Amino acid sequence: MSEFVDEALLYVKAGDGGDGVVSLHREKYRPKGGPDGGDGGRGGDVVFVATAGMSSLIDFQYESSFRADSGESGGNNYRTGRSAKDRRVRVPVGCAVYDAQTGDLFGELLVPGQELVVAVGGGGGRGNAAFATSTRQTPRFCERGDPGEEFRLRVELKLLADIGLVGLPNAGKSSLLRMLSAARPKVAAYPFTTLQPHLGVYRAGDEESYVVADIPGLIEGAHQGVGLGDGFLRHLERTRALIHLVDVSLVERGDPVEDYQIIRRELDAYGRGLADLPTVVGLNKMDICDDDVAALIEDELRQIGCQYEIVRLSAGTGQGVDALVGATVKHIRRIRREEEAVAVEQPKRLHRPAPPPRPLRVEGPFELPEEEGGGLLFTVAGDEIEKLVRRVHLNNNEAVLYLHRQLVDLGVLDRLEARGAREGDTVRIGDSELEYIDSAYVLDD
């Protein structure tokens, strides 16, 4: 049996956009043809694809970095560069994807074939043909492509099951799963036999089937990471109902009622609705427990407030198993009907929530240390302005003049001047540092 892995840390990098190009049209009878440089192609996205049949994240232990290709540069004669294909990464159904640094949820993949775009490719830069105007008829500059997004991601797998089996170690969950389905979990008489979740399918006739998940034994403090429980409690979040098994065979050496309460406290402390799931309590191992003792245990459970249906069974012999499952299936059928009544078609392709836009912001002045040349520093931030500067080739004088005109039109220079900026001061926009030049010196273009 392969190892079960339910969490992975990944690095993803979308493709960069292709650069635009500078090109001037040349033909035998048109020696002064205009600019015809094309735009760059778009970089590829990184897309997670929910794949039926995958049940673990173990593959990501061997490959954890995924990059999409970049778009191609534009060409002459207005040719746009070829856009790159998306990098598609297969993941199990039931994955939740988070930003590893901020903890923000990118999305959850709950349906086979569903896609989640986790990193968006950069847009292509414009060629010089895009900058031709009546007063700038032969532009000799173009734009760089935008960089693709990159993230470090935390991927969690949460199993999708109709019924979750819970109980202390050795409560008999693995034996019950074996009785219900073709699953063959390892079973033995010692705690923590089950070291990973097991899934089985219980078939009720020809038309109905139910996925059953055996969650590794929980102990007191599991919601805080004690034992095996913390890493596996999340697998209960998407189950529709619980079977809570209590071992009544050790009544002389233990307290089945306290065992029941330990699990209930852990479910309640973990939160996220686990304590509210429909539940059937199974008093297991009745083949070695007297009915009178079982009746006393039932009475004590009622006295401490247990309102759930209680069924006596033996997972080892099969006694009472049909009654236990029948009581649970009633809840599943009701929940399925409710889900169908309010079902909304899941979108095929999901996108992570867009970050809030960053408006233009000008700050300063700040004193630059002598080792950095001294003088005053002003900072300019904002999505639009940073993208504009990032795309410009700052070693091209004509491109710099174009950028300067854009800074004037966007009101950036007026805001810098209002803060006291003077000729020669440093202006930092994104990763670029520019020298402040008064707008009065900008040439008309």
pLDDT the model gives residue 206: 66
pLDDT in tens, 405-428: 999 999 999 999 999 999 889 999
**Cα gap 295→85, rounded to integer Å:** 65
State the residue range of the domain holding 118. 7-157
Amino acid at 396: N
Query: Which CATH number characterizes residue 43's domain?
Result: 2.70.210.12
Question: Does residue 337 have a pLDDT over 90?
Answer: no
Let me know whether 295 and 179 are in one domain: yes
More confident residue, 252 or 22: 22
Question: Does residue 285 have a pLDDT over 90?
Answer: yes
| Helix/strand number for the chain, H first, E second | 8, 19
Let me know whether 80 and 135 are in one domain: yes
Give the end-to-end CA distance of the chain in Å, rounded to a whole number: 70
pLDDT in tens, 365-386: 999 888 777 789 999 999 999 9
Judged by average pLDDT, the poorest of 135-144, 202-211, 220-229, 300-309 is 220-229
221 pLDDT tier (thresholds 50, 70, 90): very low
Mean pLDDT, all residues of the chain: 86
- Residue 108 CA, chain-centre distance (Å), reads 6
Question: Does residue 63 have a pLDDT over 70?
Answer: yes
**Cα gap 54→8, rounded to integer Å:** 14
| 81 located within any domain | yes
Taking alpha carbons only, the member of 106, 127, 128 closest to residue 17 is 127
| 355 located within any domain | no
Place of tokens 């209590």: 246
Phi, psi of 279 (to 5 degrees): -140, 140
Let me know whether 15 and 93 are in one domain: yes
Taking alpha carbons only, the member of 419, 307, 404 closest to residue 366 is 419
Edge to edge, the sheet with strand 198-204 lists: 198-204, 208-214, 163-166, 241-247, 279-284, 309-312
Let me know whether 73 and 132 are in one domain: yes
Let me know whether 82 and 172 are in one domain: no
| 326 located within any domain | yes
Let me know whether 205 and 238 are in one domain: yes
Helix 397-409 to helix 383-391 angle (10° resolution) is 170
| 349 located within any domain | no
pLDDT the model gives residue 53: 75
CB 35 within 8 A of CB 25: yes
Q: Rg (Cα) of the chain, in Å, rounded? A: 32
Let me know whether 130 and 27 are in one domain: yes
Of 138, 157, 176, which one is at a domain's C-terminal end?
Answer: 157
| 346 located within any domain | no
Of 308, 341, 374, which one is at a domain's C-terminal end?
Answer: 341
pTM: 0.76
Domain total for the chain?
A: 3
270 pLDDT tier (thresholds 50, 70, 90): confident
Of 127, 157, 187, which one is at a domain's C-terminal end?
Answer: 157
**Cα gap 87→66, rounded to integer Å:** 8
| 426 located within any domain | yes
Let me know whether 57 and 152 are in one domain: yes
| 2 located within any domain | no
Let me know whether 49 and 188 are in one domain: no
**Cα gap 414→374, rounded to integer Å:** 23
Judged by average pLDDT, the poorest of 121-125, 140-144, 253-257, 394-398 is 253-257
Let me know whether 200 and 228 are in one domain: yes
Let me know whether 254 and 190 are in one domain: yes
pLDDT the model gives residue 345: 66
**Cα gap 235→149, rounded to integer Å:** 30
Query: Which CATH number characterizes residue 296's domain?
Result: 3.40.50.300
More confident residue, 302 or 234: 302
Let me know whether 193 and 277 are in one domain: yes
| 350 located within any domain | no
